[in-house]
């Protein structure tokens, strides 16, 4: 089981609080309707099998005055790649990139939302959705095939791919020589990213900041 904790960033790690749920993976902070909340999924496992994926779920929980509120299930499906602040799109990537799209004049909590698969012919991971006013999606390719959008061969995790919400490739960032990327994530400004650099031996040797410039 995966537990979710919140703690202060002091040297003692004080104020440690645990969320009382069975599983909570890849949590992310958000400000939604002026509330500070955490969105999490119940699994980060391979999402290629739709039946298994739909057995998992995505949740939201308020955090205020050092305490968790009551968790609220948003929908079925482990969408741990991020959501937009207006709750109109959720994404996930663990071999397949999946997206949940809200209906017109609705949110992704609606039963009328559409669950779809993007880049079905490619193995995708580390999907992360930015939080600025013009959201972008970053992800890594598992390689050993032509990469999405570029149709050029590449090594696993050699590039960070960035697309807009319509799937148009905006850019890709190549890892420094001798390294590959892992654990990609947008920063709070929605423009820059952070990632780890991994050696050929699988050692996560460095944490890097990737500027939008």
**What would the pLDDT profile of 140-180 be if each residue is shown by its tens digit?**
987 655 455 555 567 889 999 998 877 677 888 999 999 99
Q: What is the pLDDT of residue 118?
A: 83
Which of 2-6, 38-42, 79-83, 169-173 is predicted with the least confidence, judged by mean pLDDT? 169-173
Closest by Cα among 61, 95, 91 to 77? 91
Distance of CA 74 to CAs 4, 56, 88, 136, 171, Å? Answer: 17, 11, 12, 22, 31
CA distance 73 to 60: 6
CA distance 55 to 10: 38
Judge whether residue 38 has pLDDT over 70.
yes
Mean pLDDT, the chain, integer: 89
**What is the CB neighbour count within 10 angstroms for residue 135?**
20
- What pTM did the predictor assign? 0.87
- E-assigned strand segments in the chain: 5-6, 17-18, 25-32, 35-41, 57-64, 67-68, 72-76, 82-83, 89-95, 97-101, 114-118, 124-129, 136-141, 145-146, 153-154, 159-164, 169-174, 180-186, 193-198, 204-210
* Residues pairing with 83 in the sheet: 90
Q: What is the pLDDT of residue 150?
A: 52
Q: Decide: helix, strand or coil at residue 156.
A: coil
Q: Decide: helix, strand or coil at residue 50.
A: helix
Look at 131 and 6; give whichever has higher pLDDT: 6
Terminal Cα-to-Cα distance of the chain (whole angstroms) = 40
């Amino acid at each position: 089981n995966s537990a979710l904790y919140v703690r202060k960033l002091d040297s003692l790690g004080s104020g440690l609080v645990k969320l009382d749920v069975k599983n909570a993976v890849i949590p992310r902070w958000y400000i939604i309707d002026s509330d500070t909340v955490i969105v999490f999924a119940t699994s980060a496992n391979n999402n290629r099998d739709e039946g298994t994926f739909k057995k998992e779920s995505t949740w939201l929980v308020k955090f205020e005055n050092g305490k968790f509120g009551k968790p609220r299930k948003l929908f079925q499906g482990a969408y741990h790649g991020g959501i937009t602040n207006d709750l109109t799109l959720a994404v996930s990537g663990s071999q397949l990139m999946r997206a949940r799209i809200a209906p017109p004049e609705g949110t992704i909590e609606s039963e009328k939302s559409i669950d779809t698969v993007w880049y079905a012919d490619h193995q995708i991971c580390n999907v992360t959705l930015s939080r600025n006013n013009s959201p972008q999606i970053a992800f890594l390719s598992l390689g050993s095939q032509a990469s999405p959008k570029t149709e050029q061969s590449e090594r696993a995790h050699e590039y960070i791919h960035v697309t807009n919400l319509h799937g148009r490739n905006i850019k890709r960032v190549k890892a420094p020589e001798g390294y590959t990327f892992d654990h990609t994530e947008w920063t709070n400004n929605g423009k820059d990213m952070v990632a780890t650099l991994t050696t050929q031996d699988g050692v996560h040797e460095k944490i890097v900041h990737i500027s939008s410039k």
